[in-house]
Amino acid sequence: MKELHLSFLNAVGGKHTFKPSLTKEDWTAEEVREKMEAFKKLTIFEKEGVALFREVSGAKYVETIETELF
């Protein structure tokens, strides 16, 4: 299983990672960056008065291998 991890810098320079639950596993870097730029323009996400998604920092797919025991 692949998860998309989107990294942003918040308004005070701290890192914030967002893991959307509905994503495709084959988006290109350009497609992901485009979606992240659109997402940060929403400016609706804050924590304790700090905007969480102020600047796009990076993105990666993280693969998880599950091994069922029984």
Looking at residue 58, what DSSP letter applies? E
Q: What is the predicted pLDDT for the residue at 29? A: 95
pLDDT < 50 stretches in the chain: none
Q: What is the predicted pLDDT for the residue at 25? A: 85
Task: Give this prediction's pTM.
Answer: 0.82
Q: What is the predicted pLDDT for the residue at 1? A: 79
Instruction: Specify the 3-state DSSP secondary structure of 70.
Output: coil
How many other C-beta atoms are found inside a 10 Å radius of the C-beta of residue 47? 10
Beta strands across the sheet bearing 55-63: 15-18, 2-9, 55-63
